[in-house]
Homo-oligomer: A and B are copies of this chain.
Amino acid sequence: MSKLEEFRTFREKMNERILSAENLAIRRFFALDSRVYENGALDSKTKELLGLVASLVLRCDDCITYHVVRCLEEGVTDEEAFEAFSVGLVVGGSIVIPHLRRAVATLDQLRA
């Protein structure tokens, strides 16, 4: 199983487990976390790019993987992705680089 597949399986399994816990605040947060990227005044593509750069500067690998997957689904090109990466890199500094390496590896794996 590839790393990407492992991530998806674990993510799905644990999301189900967490939502089964009957904690209303957590459930509502999860619902909100989906809703916020839906089409609105800004389209989903732009919002996924916002989520990607936010995840990059906060250096959350799983979040980056998720938003790279979603960005490609929304039709983001490699050139657009790298420009988003460049904003994240300049805002967040060299500590972003290890996460950038993994983001690009995920991007290449998804394109392959």
A interface list, Cβ under 8 A from B:
10-11, 14-15, 17-18, 21, 23-26, 28-30, 32-33, 35-37, 40-42, 46-47, 49-51, 53-63, 77-80, 82-98, 100-102, 104-105, 108
Contacts and interface: CB of A to CB of B under 8 A. Distances in A.
Given A25-B32, A94-B33, A97-B33, A87 B18 contact: no
Integer count of this chain's copies in the complex: 6
B29 A90 contact: yes
A108 B101 CA distance: 26
A56 B57 CA distance: 11
Given A23-B82, A23-B85, A91-B58, A100 B18 contact: yes
Minimum-distance CB pairs A-B, first 7: A93-B93, A62-B98, A14-B101, A41-B79, A25-B86, A23-B82, A54-B91
